[in-house]
Amino acid sequence: MTDCLFCKIARKELDSDIVHESDDIMVFRDINPAAPLHVLAVPKEHVASVDELTRDHAGVLSEMLIALSTIAGREGTDGGYRIVTNVGPDAGQSVLHLHFHLLGGRAMAWPPG
Ligand code: AMP
């Protein structure tokens, strides 16, 4: 998708603070961090949200989650961390390209607001 913000970041047409990259995924720091550690993992292929996933995405999904776990370990989240994805307006999804937030470095409340 030419106009999608995260597609542009994945194609490096827009600058981002890249933490990890492979052929299929990109992980970059959130521009407006909600925790000391806040990165976003996205597939390079445009997928709007979890609602568009099929079994064919199993590989890229596991790659994103394993990359986030590795980053959490590397960046010192001894007390734990949270991985979350928002789907649709009620959840507050503001960018319509699948992304997993990794949040860490502080205590978090549950349930989220
Ligand atoms: P969501 O509200 O779940 O769709 O999350 C979108 C996230 O993207 C928010 O946490 C934003 O701060 C973040 N974001 C928006 N634009 C950028 C950008 N150019 N670079 C990095 N993160 C961004």
CATH number at residue 96: 3.30.428.10
* pLDDT tops 80 at residue 102: yes
Longest Cα–Cα distance of the chain, Å, equals 39
Cα 16 to Cα 7, 62, 80, 91: the distances in Å are 12, 23, 25, 24
**For a substitution probing ligand 1, which of 7, 19, 32, 102 has the most ligand atoms within 8 Å of its CB?**
32
Instruction: Give domain status of residue 113, yes or no.
Output: no
Question: With contact defined as beta carbons under 8 Å apart, do 50 and 42 qualify?
Answer: no
Residue nearest to atom 17 of ligand 1 (CA): 31
pLDDT on residue 113: 85
Measured distance CA(51)–CA(11) in Å, rounded = 23
- Report the number of distinct structural domains present in the chain: 1
pLDDT in tens, 26-69: 999 999 999 999 999 999 999 999 999 999 999 999 999 999 99
79 CA to middle of ligand 1, Å?
24
In a domain, 112, yes or no: no
Residue 91 · residue 21 · CB < 8 Å: no
Structural domain boundaries enclosing 38 = 5-104
The pair of three-digit structure tokens given for residue 27, joined into one six-digit string? 């992980």
